[in-house]
Structure 1
């Protein structure tokens, strides 16, 4: 391993050569970085550097976790003046390797709860949060926030070019892709955009062939799949087709008959061993209501309940097992059993 790029970091750990000190710090779990940043100036600069991130990735020390938009409380909140309020949401982390739970710091502009129905995407070391409804006014938002795990800080990104709700989202080739959904007047959309979090820039993508409200985004290889959805005049009548964007050419194509017509795809679309789409809803008797699945390699973290107001269960399933796949129950830490609205896989 070439340690020359770290030559200006000396005596990282007193008494150890620089290369051994670096290897020790490389093995620190992410949960310890918040404390490690405060140990000394050298550690602070090292842990926040691009070189350290690249080194961890090359040596296989990064770790894939799920980032979940999750309710803080299991039961709805109540206000003495306005009555029942929806639960507030934050971002939870689940590490399927250590089976540990953690939280991401709140977005400074929303300290008491994220925008409702906001979307998450992971892109080149950054966690991107966008859209949703203001939790107080229910107004659709165009706000974009980017979280850097190296600094444990949020920054405000450039706003989305259009207001849209319940859109498809995915990431690939260093960009975040959004498509479909509906505008503030409930008109279903065909338009699509791409966001570059490093440059903080938006660029237009050619429109899809049809309107797709309440669609779901899935990235398969170098393609962004926009699954199902419905047009303005077909409220709730979910389509059985997908539109596929080639991330290289920027061209769309439509594929029919790959999703069950009439079934909502929101947060419950996966890709099986055979490359076909899988509906996580109904995969187990405990996965009928509020189902959300987040792929993490060949495995998927699933959550949902058997019926309305039932306790939410959390499971791991290996998609490589084909038709014989079995669900493994996940032990949930206290305070992490709330409803999951959406999520993504992130490589820390």
Structure 2
């Protein structure tokens, strides 16, 4: 792939800016300008030696981004192969911020599950939302033949997923992968500074933050920069956690729930308080904000961010509760908890390891996926995908994942 492109091959992008000479409304103006063009012909010839013509490739980055943002979403993947400059701009935060400002981003949930020699990626598109065709697409296969991962069936369930634009980052104990949906390629990246398992992970301002996960690594918060492909330690963690979950909103990395791993708890009340606690790390200022906890305690089993709020699902033995935390720091309600409606599951859910919970923010909606392992049979009246409308404040049943994807790991792509 070349560094820059020859824009004459993309003149179709510019044709709509000129009048059609065969249009009857344009004929008179064309005849009127013919004489003027004849007198200007010699003047233009003299200037052509010193003045280069304006081409698409000669536009500065900001104007080129303005052109790209108007390209239909299904054509963006093609533009990535033109040259390295175009690929860099199309993957830049500036491009996605501009598309977000113009309300052109679309949400698609990816559910990754391992296969014999790669990943199977099932997709669920939320925009435009047409309930007549609202179903999972499972025709995407991601080969990983040239990336050594060992046992994929053990690697993927223990990893965390993070998305930045059209790229999904699969972060595991001993390897980090990046899957680009536009180029349909997967590559190996720098792995974490120390092995972690069941850690918190979230994206803040185009960078990935992780915390918790093991005794040797949980004492730090690490940051991954996709541009430099490097990890670095950015802070010490106030609490050492295992089995925690992460989310981000308004520049803050939230480390939620989990078990205490820096020593045995003093009692059952201390353990319960730990599992419902939440630490707030301001990634821009590099400081920790005042700690928060879920009201009523309970064990946090899933969390995500959506439209400026943190949504948390907690469990009290066989009873679940659903909470919303106001994460809008420049809003008067910052830090307030509100109890929301809980999805009406057909049967009580026990935290015995047989069910994996996944909570994903998708635009102004929250998707809850309950995935059973292969040893547990599904009941005919059970629904395993629920969608919460943050505007209406109500749950509805979503399309279930196929049975051959029992314990997928889910992430939302906004691109």
Of 376, 391, 413, the residue aligned with 1:320 is 391
CA distance in structure 2 between the aligned counterparts of 1:306 and 1:18, rounded to whole angstroms: 53
Instruction: Specify the alignment match of 1:279 in structure 2.
Output: 313
Q: What's the RMSD between the two structures over aligned residues?
A: 4.0
CA distance in structure 2 between the aligned counterparts of 1:152 and 1:25, rounded to whole angstroms: 23
**Cα distance, 1:18 vs structure 2:** 6.7
Conserved 8 A contact 1:67-1:344: yes
Conserved 8 A contact 1:192-1:204: yes
Partner secondary structure for residue 293 of structure 2: coil
Instruction: Specify the alignment match of 1:121 in structure 2.
Output: 162
Larger RCO: 1 or 2 (CA < 8 Å, sep 6+):
1
Of 67, 72, 92, the residue aligned with 1:27 is 72
1:222 paired with 2:251, answer yes
Instruction: Specify the alignment match of 2:106 in structure 1.
Output: 63
Residues 68, 17 of structure 1: CA spacing in aligned structure 2 closer, same or farther, 3 A cutoff? same
Conserved 8 A contact 2:387-2:396: yes
> Going by fraction, where is helix more abundant, 1 or 2?
2
Cα deviation 1:6-31 (Å, max 9, x = unaligned): 994345487982779x889932537x
Residues 95, 337 of structure 1: CA spacing in aligned structure 2 closer, same or farther, 3 A cutoff? farther
Cα deviation 1:98-131 (Å, max 9, x = unaligned): 5452436233425984613111111254321111
Instruction: Specify the alignment match of 2:201 in structure 1.
Output: 169
Within a 5 Å distance, the mapping from 1:149-298 to structure 2 comes to 149-183=181-215, 189-232=218-261, 233-234=263-264, 237-238=271-272, 239=274, 240-258=276-294, 261-263=297-299, 265-266=300-301, 268-270=302-304, 275=309, 277-279=311-313, 282=320, 283-286=342-345, 288=349, 289-298=355-364
Partner secondary structure for residue 209 of structure 1: coil
1:142 paired with 2:199, answer no
Instruction: Give the length in aligned residue pairs.
Output: 303
Of 104, 107, 116, the residue aligned with 2:144 is 107
- TM-score (ref. length: structure 2): 0.61
Residues 15, 298 of structure 1: CA spacing in aligned structure 2 closer, same or farther, 3 A cutoff? closer
Structure whose CA Rg is larger: 2
Instruction: Specify the alignment match of 2:127 in structure 1.
Output: 97
- Higher mean alpha-carbon deviation, 144-153 vs 308-317, is at 308-317
Residues 207, 340 of structure 1: CA spacing in aligned structure 2 closer, same or farther, 3 A cutoff? same
Instruction: Specify the alignment match of 1:301 in structure 2.
Output: 367
1:45 paired with 2:49, answer no
1:17 paired with 2:18, answer no
Residues 274, 347 of structure 1: CA spacing in aligned structure 2 closer, same or farther, 3 A cutoff? closer
CA distance in structure 2 between the aligned counterparts of 1:23 and 1:250, rounded to whole angstroms: 34
Instruction: Specify the alignment match of 2:46 in structure 1.
Output: none
Cα deviation 1:131-155 (Å, max 9, x = unaligned): 1xxxxxxxxx321112223322112
> Where do 5+ consecutive residues of structure 1 fail to align?
1-5, 78-87, 132-140
Partner secondary structure for residue 49 of structure 1: helix
Partner secondary structure for residue 181 of structure 1: coil
**Cα distance, 1:241 vs structure 2:** 1.5
Partner secondary structure for residue 260 of structure 2: coil
Conserved 8 A contact 1:188-1:231: no
- TM-score (ref. length: structure 1): 0.71
Conserved 8 A contact 2:305-2:360: no
Instruction: Specify the alignment match of 1:82 in structure 2.
Output: none
Partner secondary structure for residue 162 of structure 2: strand
Conserved 8 A contact 1:188-1:212: no
CA distance in structure 2 between the aligned counterparts of 1:90 and 1:195, rounded to whole angstroms: 25
Conserved 8 A contact 2:383-2:397: no
Residues 319, 342 of structure 1: CA spacing in aligned structure 2 closer, same or farther, 3 A cutoff? farther
Partner secondary structure for residue 191 of structure 2: coil
Partner secondary structure for residue 198 of structure 1: coil
CA distance in structure 2 between the aligned counterparts of 1:159 and 1:146, rounded to whole angstroms: 11
Instruction: Specify the alignment match of 1:3 in structure 2.
Output: none
